[in-house]
Structure 1
Amino acid sequence: MSIRWNWRLASRLSVITLAVLVILLVTLLQQRQQAATTMQATSPSTTASGLQGTDLNGAAAADFSLTDQFGKHVSLSQYKGKPVVLTFLYTNCPDVCPLTAEKLHATMQMLGQDAQNVGIIAVSTDPARDTQAAALKFSKAHNMQDSWHYLVGTEQQLSPVWSDYHIFAQQQQQTVNHSMGIYVIDKQGRQQVYQDNDFTPAQLADNLKILLKQ
């Protein structure tokens, strides 16, 4: 009786052990698949020319002309012959916009002497509060006053630019809900890639180095 009982117990333990091993194997495979999916989702895509970001297929960048932090009229087309980084910010932004400005500053530092051959343009998404003085103050706070053009204007002047670049901008009580990210434009005024606001200075600097050589 004891031998028979021990055999049944051993048999049941074997089945349980096998079941546990199957569960562990399935769990491990699921974790690996999830990790691979996550890495694929978070890794920036790369174009055929080696640029990191969403490929914009060389679409022509719509021209515009606005006033910068020094009261100077600036147009996108005046940068033909130079790669351009185009972004959309507002000076009272509590989080993402200051971070973007800091990353753009870091990018310019990484480029060294090549930085003078790159244009950086920030277009306001807050016409009600982004005055010329506010744009200059924000630019100085992030060491960008001489490294970019922070363009301001009325809603009537700014909204066509938002529309051309598919930027959503909605004024709320103290903040502006708006699209974030950067457009990287080549020397011929063609949109090459779009980088989400999680871009790194190294990624952007690499993109600009490629475009500078073209």
Structure 2
Amino acid sequence: MSMRMSWRLASRLSVITLAVLVVIIVTVIQQKQSSHSQPVSNTTASTSGLQGTDLGGTPAPNFQLTDQYGKTVSLSQFRGKPVVVTFLYTHCPDVCPLTAENLHASLQKLGGDAKNVAILAVSTDPKRDTTAEALKFSTAHNMQDYWHFLTGTQKELSPIWSSYSIYAQQQQQKVNHSTALYVIDKQGKERVYMGDDFKPAQMAANLQQLLKEK
């Protein structure tokens, strides 16, 4: 009888041990996956006091594209101004229009300081985002004179997406792409990352702080 009980006890203990090991393994895998995923939180403050995920002040990769007016625009030409770089497409039915509206609201909160910041919206849809479509989208969201909606060919855009860890893949009439806003300081350094759920007050506060920096 005691041998039978011991066998049952050992069996139950082995099952419990296996279950604990499974939980530990799953937890480790999830932690590794989260450590390699793109930061999405924008509600926390970085060590500098900026709201968003701290990017450590690494130099922002430069790029050059064509804006909604057909002008050649590069990131480096805005040295001396805080810059927001985001990634959108003109036929987007949901997130991109909201991002544009929230950026417009952010600039309104800045008042006269809005002219001292730059916003660059990089296309994620090279096939359909023409100069004309970029201007149409910009006008629809009152951003035609407040940002540069930058378009280009697949060959021109792909390296930029890669350098900013952006995924962009067209699927039928939609483009699945990463949503990201990189806030860059006057020295051209990446300061914080903000997700598409940012609040205009958060963005305005970040830009106001960067405007005060030398």
**Which TM class, normalised by the smaller chain length?**
0.7 to 0.9
**Separation in structure 2 between the aligned mates of residue 111 and residue 183 of structure 1, nearest angstrom:** 18
Distance verdict in 2 for CA 1:64–1:213, change over 3 Å: same
Paired with 2:148 and 2:164, the residues of 1 have a C-alpha distance of 17
Equivalent position of 1:183 in the other structure: 182
Which secondary structure state, in structure 2, belongs to the residue aligned with residue 93 of structure 1? coil
Deviation of 1:45 (Å):
1.4
CA contact (8 A) 2:168 2:176 kept: yes
Q: Deviation string for 1:58-106 (max 9, x for gaps)?
A: 0110000000000000000000000000000000000000000000000
Tell me how far apart the structure 1 counterparts of residues 118 and 140 of structure 2 sit (CA, whole Å): 19
Residue of structure 2 in register with 1:85 after alignment: 84
The match for 1:26 is none
TM-score normalized by the length of structure 2: 0.80
Distance 2:42 2:176 in 1: 26
Q: Secondary structure at the match of 1:109?
A: helix
**Residue in 2 that maps onto 1:114:** 113
Please state whether the residue corresponding to 1:144 is helix, strand or coil.
Answer: coil
Instruction: Tell me how far 1:47 sits from its aligned partner.
Output: 1.2
What SS does the corresponding residue of 2:80 show, helix, strand or coil? coil
**1:126 maps to what in 2?**
125
The answer to whether the Cα contact below 8 Å between 2:42 and 2:52 also exists between their aligned partners in 1 is: no
Distance 2:41 2:206 in 1: 18
The residue correspondences of 1:41-190 to structure 2 (distance < 5 A) are 44-190=43-189
Does residue 1:194 correspond to 2:193, yes or no? yes
Counterpart Cα distance in 1 of 2:165 and 2:52: 17
Distance (Å, rounded) in 2 between the aligned partners of 1:163 and 1:122: 15
Where do 4+ consecutive residues of structure 1 move more than 2 Å?
none
Report the CA distance between 1:48 and its aligned residue: 1.8
Aligned residues: 174
Deviation at 1:181, TM superposition (A): 2.0
Cα distance in structure 2, aligned partners of 1:159 and 1:42: 25
Shift of 1:170: 0.2
Gapped regions of structure 1 (runs ≥ 5): 1-40
Return the alpha-carbon distance in structure 1 between the equivalents of residues 203 and 47 of structure 2: 16
- Matches of 2:125 and 2:156, distance apart in 1: 12
Report how far residue 139 of structure 1 moved: 0.2
Residue 42 of structure 1 and its aligned partner are, at CA, apart by 7.0
Partner Cα separation in structure 2 for residue 88 and residue 152 of structure 1 = 11
> What is the SS of the residue equivalent to 1:120?
strand
CA distance 1:42–1:135, change in 2 (3 Å): closer
* One-letter amino acid of the structure 1 residue matched with residue 60 of structure 2: A
CA distance in 1, matches of 2:114, 2:140: 19
Unaligned runs of 5+ in 2: 1-39
Distance across 1 between alignment mates of 2:180 and 2:65: 20
